[in-house]
Chain A
Amino acid sequence: MKCRSLYKKISAYLDGEVPEEERHSIAEHLKTCENCRRELEELALVSDSLDLLEKTSAPPFFAARVKRRIARCEEVHPLPLSFAERVRRVTMPVAAAAVLCVAVLVGGSLGKEIYELRAERVRREEAEIADFVGGGSYNGLSDGSLVSAYTDILSAEGE
């Protein structure tokens, strides 16, 4: 490696930021080149000088002050709603209304069907009673119908 090439890489070498094989090549060059060694040494001393500035911590209650500042800013400039939130605020009521409509329609249809089934059953039983009262046979009465139950009772009493 030539001095000129090393010069560009010397800081990266100092920080351990060169690939392994390049590192080896630089190390070999430094063994024989006093100028580059001196350059590296001086830059290392600069890094050492920077250590004089010690690490510090955030002041006490910093997070609490951040929170207060956010609250103050939002009073003046409320955060605009995100697109997702705007969509949610429109679709949720629409979805709820749609579910309600479907529930009403389905409920209404089911109710109507149940009503018609019951009405049909009542008509059938009335017809059976009318036949029975009018001298009709009580053969062929629907199982479980009120009239068949009544006739069963009558039959049992007669025995």
Chain B
Amino acid sequence: MHADEETDLELVQKSAEGDEDAFERLVHRYEDTVYNTVYRYVGDAEEAEDLAQEVFLKIWRRAGTFAGHSKFSTWLYRVAVNQCLNHRRKKGITGPLGQIEAEDPKAVSLEEEMVRKREVEAVRQAIDSLPGRQRLALILAKYEDRSYSEIAEIMGVSVSSVESLIHRARTTLRNNLSHLRQK
């Protein structure tokens, strides 16, 4: 069977049997997804990679427990979410996160690039100001395009809780980003 035709469940089952090549294919399939999620949460590339590696390490060690009753991506997100929440708690990080340098191919001058970087930083800090669960719910909805029901399953909460988390996140961000909209 061609590597692209293998289902997630097949790759997980092979990984559970110790097939490292199958696991590597699984990592390739989902590395961007996991990395983006944790990167948006922690805001630092080095920290994000460390966290993303831990997520996959957990998946490797627990591959035998995945029975395929839910989608693999849901399970993967759940591990990533828990890893994010535990990571911040362990590090005792409460202050603002690091900055993300976003390249803007459309910028025509250094000044515009500087303005854009400041805006990106402002958005990053605004997201950082959100409580962990609101931040994760917003990341999953906005950046990972997960449905509310899937987010509920990932985070182990009800759909109405997800609605509430995302709404509170948005209203907080509205207050913190109001200066951007005044331009």
Contact = CB atoms under 8 A, between A and B. Distances in A.
Interface stretch (B31-39, B74-82, B85-93): B31-39
Interface in B21-65: 23-24, 27-28, 31-32, 34-36, 39-40, 45, 49, 52-53, 56-57, 60-61, 64
Given A15-B148, A46-B177, A53-B120, A66 B102 contact: no
A134 B143 CA distance: 109
Contacts, number: 108
A85 to B, nearest CB: 9
**Majority-rule SS of B interface residues:** helix
B71 interface: no
B28 A63 contact: yes
Contacts of B9: none
Contacts of B52: 58, 62
Contact of B36 (A56, A69, A79): A56
Given A10-B167, A70-B60, A57 B123 contact: no
Interface in B128-156: 138, 141-143, 147-148
A85 B117 CA distance: 54
Contacts of A49: 119, 123, 173, 177, 180-181
Given A57-B35, A79-B61, A46 B120 contact: no
Interface size grouping (class) on chain A: 20 to 34
Contact of A62 (B27, B127, B177): B27
Nearest to A15: B141
Interface string B150-169: 00000000000001101100
Contacts of A56: 35-36, 39
A49 B178 CA distance: 10
Interface string A47-77: 1011011111111001111110110010000
B36 A55 contact: yes
A53 B124 CA distance: 8
B59 to A, nearest CB: 9
5 contacts: A11-B166, A12-B163, A50-B138, A52-B120, A59-B49
Interface of A: 8-12, 15, 17, 42-43, 45-47, 49-50, 52-59, 62-67, 69-70, 73, 79, 82
